Structure 1
Amino acid sequence: MQPKSTTTIRPRDPTDLPKTATLLAKVHARDSYPVQGVQHAEAFLSSPSTLCVWVAIRPSGEIIGHVALSSPSPSDPAVALWKAQNRSEPIAVLERLFVDPSARGEGLAGRLMGVAVAEAGHRGLKAVLFALVKDQAAMRLYVREGWEEFGRSMYGYEGGDGMRTRMEAVCFVAPLGS
């Protein structure tokens, strides 16, 4: 395991996209995350709604983590629930967070989240996200990082088999003061 001090977080460069897509496939094979988008990973990681995106890299140049901050989409369960609760703060969505399984336990996910939350704060936005109930490790991470659950909703998606699936989504907001 690499010490976390040797890992750098920087804005993602367009040349990083193929390596990032490969990492996403590796994470999906292990964790079934994300539930969609892996077949067209580069497009999935390059959404037009993306405001900022970062990668975590080792000194060797190996990409071992990723996070994005995006504009709110009405189809995002956290965004829909936020609006349904008549919350007044403007928001951005923290998404596309993943870390190479070999680099887990180094605090990297928390560091990536911190960079995205800080950027949201610079923009005068509150960060929100959702996790599917199947992603228990992710939910434990969010709670450990101080994120608060603000409700639950349903998330519908089309699986790789073409079948439409619905699953409960847990919605979180970034810690107070962030």
Structure 2
Amino acid sequence: MTEPERTVRERQDGDLPVLAAVLERVHAHDGYPVEGVADPRAWLEHSHEIRSWTAIVDHVPVGQVTLTEAQPEDDAARAWIERTGGSVTDIAVMGRLFLDPDHRGVGLAGFLILALRHHAQVISRTVVFDVMAKDAAAIHLYDRFGAEQIAEVTHHFGDGRTEPALVYAFPAPKLAG
């Protein structure tokens, strides 16, 4: 039995239909995203997207992550600005990270995060994001990759619903001097 071919690359428009179906499976399995997936393709196409990456197994999209321009109303942006006194233009927000449950545990989420963090470094942005406090596996992943929790917030969505969330930032890479 041969190992499946796994890779991460920039997301392409042709990936979106397959990723939308994967997102529906992820929501059924994990309850992510908490807002639901009434229109999964629209959820994937973030209006403030900088760039997105797709995890591929044997030429089939199985997950993705998106880097977006931070907006003043983003929970993660507000928490980072309060903590650092920095500007919304200093940061970018990681979001929409998910993997098909059948393809977890082989490093693909880590490679998606590394691709995103590398691009953020290239454009001189600190990566911030939030995660629902209920998502223990995601929190464990972010902790393993060196993310630092900087705040606890309440995520508001839907018709007045709320969910406790944690805000994280990836520290700037230390350059050899």
TM-score for the superposition, normalised by structure 2: 0.91
1:144 CA drift (Å): 0.8
* In the alignment, structure 1 residue 129 sits paired with structure 2 residue 129: yes
In 2, the alpha carbon distance for the partners of 1:26 and 1:73 equals 29
Answer yes or no: is the 8 Å Cα contact 1:77–1:169 preserved in 2: no
> Unaligned regions of 5+ residues in structure 2, if any?
none
1:85 CA drift (Å): 2.2
CA offset digits 1:3-53 (Å, max 9, x no partner) = 57x211111111111111000001000000011251111111101200000
How many correspondences in the alignment?
172
1:68 to 44, 66, 69: 66
1:84 CA drift (Å): 1.9
Question: Segments of 4+ in structure 1 off by > 4 A?
Answer: none
CA offset digits 1:122-174 (Å, max 9, x no partner) = 0000101110111111111100111110111111001xxxx321122101111
In 1, the alpha carbon distance for the partners of 2:34 and 2:114 equals 24
In 2, the alpha carbon distance for the partners of 1:22 and 1:100 equals 10
Answer yes or no: is the 8 Å Cα contact 1:37–1:44 preserved in 2: no
- Equivalent position of 2:93 in the other structure: 93
Say if 1:31 and 1:38 are closer, same or farther in 2 by CA, change over 3 A.
same
- Equivalent position of 1:82 in the other structure: 80
Answer yes or no: is the 8 Å Cα contact 1:53–1:67 preserved in 2: yes
Opposite residue 22 of structure 1, the aligned amino acid is A
CA offset digits 1:60-83 (Å, max 9, x no partner) = x21112000000022321111112
2:173 to 160, 174, 177: 177
SS at match of 2:39: helix
1:140-159 equivalent positions in 2, closer than 5 A: 140-158=140-158
* In the alignment, structure 1 residue 56 sits paired with structure 2 residue 55: yes
- Equivalent position of 2:20 in the other structure: 21
- Give the superposed CA RMSD: 1.8
In 2, the alpha carbon distance for the partners of 1:140 and 1:166 equals 22
Answer yes or no: is the 8 Å Cα contact 2:83–2:150 preserved in 1: no
- Equivalent position of 2:160 in the other structure: 164
In 2, the alpha carbon distance for the partners of 1:83 and 1:97 equals 23
In 2, the alpha carbon distance for the partners of 1:16 and 1:115 equals 17
> Unaligned regions of 5+ residues in structure 1, if any?
none
SS at match of 1:43: helix
